[in-house]
Structure 1
Amino acid sequence: MRMRIALPPDQVKKKSCNSDSDTPKSLFRMMSFLPFLIHSALISLPLAHAITNPSLLRATASALPIQLLLQSPVSFENVAVHASSELLLTSFGSPTLYTFVPKTMNGTLVELHTFPNATSLTGIAEYRPGFFALIASTVNPTTRHMVPGSVVLWSVDFTSPTSNPSVQKLADIPTSEGANGLTVVPGHPDILLAADSYSGSIWQIDIRTGRASVAIEDEVFLPGAPAPAVGINGIHARDDEYVYFTNSQKGVFGRLAVRVDGVGNVSASHPVETLVSIQSVETEQQLPDDFAVDCEGRAWVTVRPGALALLEPPAKGNGSWTQTTVLGNAAGSDADIVEPASVTFGRGSAAEERTLYVVTAAGQIFAAEI
Structure 2
Amino acid sequence: MTHFLPIRHFEDTRKAPGQQSRVEDTRSAAKAFRHAMLAGPKAHYFQSFDLVTVPYPTRYGLRNAFSRERFVEFLHLRNRMFVVQFVTPEGIKTLLVSPSDHERGIETPFFRRLADHTPAALTKFIVKRHATVPEVLERIGLRPEDVDYITYDHLHTQDVRRWLGSDEEDAYFPNAKLLVHRQEWESAQDLNPYQADWYCPSGVAGVPASRVHCFEGSIQLGDGVALVHTPGHTEGNHSIVVHTDEGLWVTSENGVSVDAYAPLLSTAAGVADYARAVGTEVIINGNTLENAVDQYISMVQEKTIAGPSARDPRFPNLFPSSEMTPFWAFPGTRPAFYVGQAHHGTLHRAGAAAAGAVEGDRRSTAGQG
- State the TM-score, normalized to the length of structure 2: 0.31
Instruction: Specify which structure has the higher proportion of helix.
Output: 2
Instruction: Specify which structure has the higher proportion of strand.
Output: 1
Larger relative contact order (CA 8 Å, sep ≥ 6): 2
